[in-house]
Structure 1
Amino acid sequence: MASGTPSKSKIVNDVLTTEGNLSVNEEVLGTGAFTATLTWGSEPDVDLHVFEPSGAHIYYRNFQGAGYLDVDDTTSYGPEHYYLPCDNIEAGTYRIGANYYEGEGSETARIVLKTEEETLTRTQSFSSAIGSDGDASPSILFEVTIEGNEEDGYKYTVD
């Protein structure tokens, strides 16, 4: 197609118009050695909790340790999202769970755990909200044990 022809101009304009009309999700979730994403049904607030090998407790009051809680939804059905960057891996066990913080009635939480090798989903039913009393002892759905080091590589075990 020759430069400056009506066909080329129309195609370029159509492409630019289409590109401008695309909706983009501004919320980009972090990625890494593994991720954990929490969603739930209808009640306002279930919280994702991760206990890292160092003893750090990552949740709505502490967004960063070796990993990050980069999304914390308090008004709808999630997601809440944790990721462990590959350059921050700590060997040891990561305990991943949920606490039904606020709402009326029962609720079911779903955590999707993604590693390089697999994607696993587990659910937890709650009969009622626990509030901040559940922060120290959320229901644990996954334990991810990482062995090894950066030089020799890492091995993941999920329980």
Structure 2
Amino acid sequence: MLGNDYNGEHVEYKNFYNTTGTENGATMAQDIAEVFIQRANEIDTSGELARRFEYLWDAATDPKRPLMTQLRDALSIPVALLENIYTAISTKLVAGLATLLSHPPTALDQAQHRLTVDTLVTEGQKMLFVAHSQGNLFLNPAYDYAKTRLGTNSIAATHIAPASLTLRGPHLLADIDLVINGLRLFGWNSVPEINLVLPTSDTDPSGHTLFNTYLDASRPGRERVKQMAEQGLASLVTPNAAGSRGFFTTMLTWDGSGDVDLHTFEPGGAHVYFSHPGGQVGALDLDNTVANGPEHYYASCNTAQLQEGSYRFGINNYLGATGRTATVQVTFAQGGQPVTRELAVGAERATGGNHDPLPVLTVSVARDANGKFQATAH
């Protein structure tokens, strides 16, 4: 919606992936699926509707074919009965969000987000966080962490249908949003105020979904979201870059004092680490010897320099980090989900660990059928 350029600067889009679930291991999505099946069996005793709960996922991913339309087309069920399913699903969503507010998202998700922030800060990127619904529960800690890493006004936030109790920027909450406003029934009286009046639509009776409600081109929410986002972009100042961007980058951090080293073995045989920071393909352009990291390796985007093959990454507890946990994350210029690993740094090994560091992961670079480089981590 914002395009690829803003005021002459390139805009990139990055997802902060997360996995949320209840304490017993079931995800909220599974809970909603169960609600759908149970409610469908009450409405359609033949069981046919219950077997088609995949329409729920289609509704979440295809705004041109919303759930209500698909159900109406596929089965001869009165609209009033279909709305009963929506009511049940909305109730379950509210309960799930209330649970998330009581039991914050996993530490691993937040550690992954912090490392993504570290990478963006290191590479001199200014950031606008945009979140919808439960995503706001992840936005706040990521935003707060980024503020500790930046000395400039280089981060802003836009909240859409926020389930969070606190905000880091302007928000939008519709009067017809049954899910977020329903949180008040669970005692969450600090849900942000309603500041958007929307007409109802049978494409999304819940009044909550991102695409079918807040970004619906026929209603005013879309333009309001765009205005908030553009105001956020206009407020940002570009921070100084400490490291370079690459075809892929690997970032190492750890949770305390000590010196942990990142080691890269490039396909051509180069061993990149603090004693030899420049390789044939990339370089270690950040080396932390005191605490926490980061250490940062980037592979060149120059196709004449980039090598096909396996890039092996490892870590070495060089000095004073015994008992620490390291986090290593690989991000890709081509996009896609970052790959993150957590592991104990092991015993202090000093120079003895330089040539056989603890293995963490491997990045494979190859050309596709069109001759374009692609990177995957495993």
Shorter-chain TM band: 0.7 to 0.9
* Matched residues, number: 138
User: In the alignment, which residue of structure 1 is the partner of 2:290?
Assistant: 75
**TM-score where L is the length of structure 1:** 0.79
Where does 1:109-120 land on structure 2 (aligned, <5 Å)?
Answer: 109-115=326-332, 116=334, 117-120=336-339
Matches within 5 A, 1:79-90: 79-87=294-302, 88-90=305-307
Moved over 6 A (4+): none
Deviation at 1:22, TM superposition (A): 4.2
Determine helix, strand or coil for the equivalent of 2:363: strand
Contact 2:248 2:298 in 1 (8 A): yes
Deviation at 1:38, TM superposition (A): 0.4
- When residues 90 and 41 of structure 1 are mapped into structure 2, their CA distance, relative to the original with a 3 A threshold, is same
Instruction: Determine the C-alpha separation between the residues in 2 that align with 1:35 and 1:53.
Output: 15
In the aligned structure 2, how far is the partner of 1:55 from the partner of 1:34? 18
Matched, 1:93 2:316: no
Relative contact order, CA 8 A, sep 6+: which one is greater? Answer: 1
CA drift of 1:105 comes to 3.4
Shift of 1:127: 3.6
Query: Percent identity, aligned pairs only?
Result: 33
CA drift at 1:109: 1.0
* 1:106 aligns with one of 320, 323, 330: 323
TM-score (norm 2): 0.35
Gaps of 5+ in 1: 1-20
Partner Cα distance (2:243, 2:267) in 1:
23
Where do 5+ consecutive residues of structure 2 fail to align? Answer: 1-150, 154-237
State the distance in 2 between where 1:126 and 1:70 align.
21
Match of 1:63, SS state, is coil
Bigger proportion of residues as strand: 1
Whether the aligned pair in 2 keeps the contact of 1:107 and 1:128 (CA below 8 Å) is no
CA contact (8 A) 2:260 2:321 kept: no
The answer (yes or no) to whether the contact 1:43–1:102 under 8 Å persists in 2 is no
Q: Which has the larger radius of gyration?
A: 2
Tell me by how many angstroms 1:136 deviates. Answer: 0.5
Q: What SS does structure 1 have at the residue aligned with 2:347?
A: coil
Q: In 1, distance between residues paired with 2:293 and 2:321? A: 17
**Paired residue type of 2:376:** T
Equivalent residue number for residue 260 of structure 2: 46
C-alpha RMSD of the superposition: 2.0
Structure 1 or 2: larger helix share? 2
Alignment partners' CA distance in 2, 1:144 and 1:110: 16
- SS of residue paired to 1:133: helix
Which digits, 9 at most, give the CA deviation of each residue in 1:39-58, with x for residues without a partner?
00113200000000000000
1:111-142 alpha-carbon deviations (Å, 9 max, x no partner):
11101222111012034211111110111111
